Every structure is written in C-alpha cells, then in structure tokens.
Amino acid sequence: MNNLKIKVYDAHVFINSITIAIMCTSNLLLYLLMYLFNYNNGFYVIMGTVFGLFLISMVLYRSISKSNLISVSFLLLLVFLLYAVSSIFGRIGEVSVISFLGFCILPIICSLLEKDVKVILESILIISLLVLPVSNQLFEYQYVTLQQVDMSRAYAVFITISTAAIHFCWYRKGSNILIKIAYIANIYLLYKLLSVGNRGIIASVAFLIFVLMLRYIRQSNIAAAKRRTMTILFIIFGIFVVLLILNIDRIIIYLYN
C-alpha cells in the first residue's frame, strides 16, 4: 500500500477495508481461483475469508456499533423467518440461502464497517494485477460469431478498471510503483474489454468517462456560468453517446443496407 502505516488503533479500519475490497472483487476472484488453480469451489473460500476477517475485526476491535449490530441481527432474523415460511409453503426460489447470505447479507454488514476508501481502491488495484496471467482465459469468447465475452466476466473486470480510473483521478499523488503498474495493467484490460465486450459494457465505460469528466468540470476553476454551460453540453453529448451505443446494431444494419 502507498505509505500505509498500520497502527493499533486503526488496524480494524485496514482489515475492514481489505474485507470490502474482497467483497467488491468476489466475482473476479472466483474466476482467478478457477483459472489459476483449477478450483471450482471458490465461493466458499471467498465468503469464508470475508466472514473470518469480519469476525477478527469484530472480536478484536469491536468495529461495528451496537445500533448497527442490532439492525444486522434483525435483518438476519427476518431472512431466516422468510426462508422458514417459504420452506413450509414450498416456495423457495432458485437462489440458495448461502448465496443470499454471501451476496446480500455480507455486503450489507461490510457497508456498516468503518473503512478507508483509499485502502479499498488500492487493494482492488493490487488484486487486478492477478488478472494478467489469466487474461486470455478471462476474455475467451462466449459468443464466437459475435466475438463477445461472457457478461459476468466482463463486468468483473470492469470493477477494477473503474477503480483504477477513480484512484487515478483522486489519489494518484504519491502512489507507489505497484499502483502505477496497476494503472498500466488496467489500461491493457480496458483495451481487451472494449475489444470483446458487448454494447452494455461499452455503455458502462462511456458512462464512467462521462461521470468522471462531469466531476472534473464541477471541481475545476472554471467560472460558474461557463461551468453550467459546459455541464449542460456535456450531459447532452453523454446522452447522445449512450443512445448511439445502445442502437449501434441498428445503425450498422441501416448503413449496410
């Protein structure tokens, strides 16, 4: 981490931030475990790691307030009651309890923890470096005729790319060599993603750029009147780009005919 000194009184913040970073990249980590180690039960490893870190933070540092703990306990009780009622009437959905706990309850709990945004971003950037050895497998076509990658893998990689963009915009000063390498790695991942992504992922990248540019305009030293004008024009341009991307198939067919 970049000049990160862990002290006793803020160690729980570091642990919480690592926990949240793992949660944010859980889908990507599933693919990494599968491609790097040929391990197909990564869900239990990842959720077990997250839950273990959460318990360490709770037991050693009591990093969640009493009111939040009561709220989470009530939510868990409600979930189990709903599951019990559904079991009685035979209306259990396809989503298992384990999956619901892992992808719903645990993220809610993690969101209540005290955290450091910079540590979260840098942890995700370091995780993104693990993608490079398996990038070929990760970007294999799901639809060969369309030359498109699976949406689940595409959006898993998009998280690291958006993280790199946000970190570069707000936290790049003083970044160490590892983070700078991660910037370069995510530029490569962006190139790969745009090469094999569908229009949804392209629209997501365009929207990310749009939001970052809009944020830059609002924070810059431009006069208020000009800033409003630029913001309006940029919003109009952004809407036009999104509509263009969403209708690109029709446009290509029209031009071809």
Tell me the three-class secondary structure of 166-179, residue by residue: HHHHHHCCCCCHHH
Return the percentage of the chain with pLDDT > 90, whole number.
26
Classify the phi-psi angles of 174: left when phi > 0, otherwise alpha if psi is within -120 to 50, otherwise beta: left
Over range 25-37, report the average pLDDT.
92
Position 163 confidence tier, pLDDT thresholds 50, 70, 90: very high
Write out the H or E segment, with its range, that includes residue 140: none
User: Residue 155 corresponds to which tokens in the numbers above?
Assistant: 């959006």
Burial of 56 (0-12, 13-18, 19+ CB in 10 A): middle
Of 10-14, 110-114, 218-222, where does mean pLDDT reach its minimum? 218-222
Top-confidence residue, 52 or 248: 52
**Nearest CA to 36 among 158, 169, 134?**
134
User: Residue 17 corresponds to which tokens in the numbers above?
Assistant: 């931030």
- What pTM did the predictor assign? 0.78
CA distances, 165 to each of 13, 79, 203 (Å): 23, 37, 16
Is the confidence at residue 47, as pLDDT, over 50? Answer: yes
3-class secondary-structure state, position 90: coil
Top-confidence residue, 203 or 254: 203
User: Residue 98 corresponds to which tokens in the numbers above?
Assistant: 């384990």
Q: What does the pLDDT read at residue 244?
A: 66
Residue 221: count of CB within 10 angstroms of its CB: 5
Residue 7: count of CB within 10 angstroms of its CB: 8
For 50-61, write each residue's pLDDT tens digit: 988 888 887 777
For 55-93, write each residue's pLDDT tens digit: 888 777 766 667 767 777 777 787 777 767 776 666 555
Rg of the chain over all Cα atoms, to the nearest angstrom: 21
What is the chain's percent helix, strand, coil content, to nearest 5?
80, 0, 20
Distance CA 195, CA 185 (A): 15
Distance CA 49, CA 44 (A): 8
Burial of 231 (0-12, 13-18, 19+ CB in 10 A): middle
Is the confidence at residue 6, as pLDDT, over 50? Answer: no
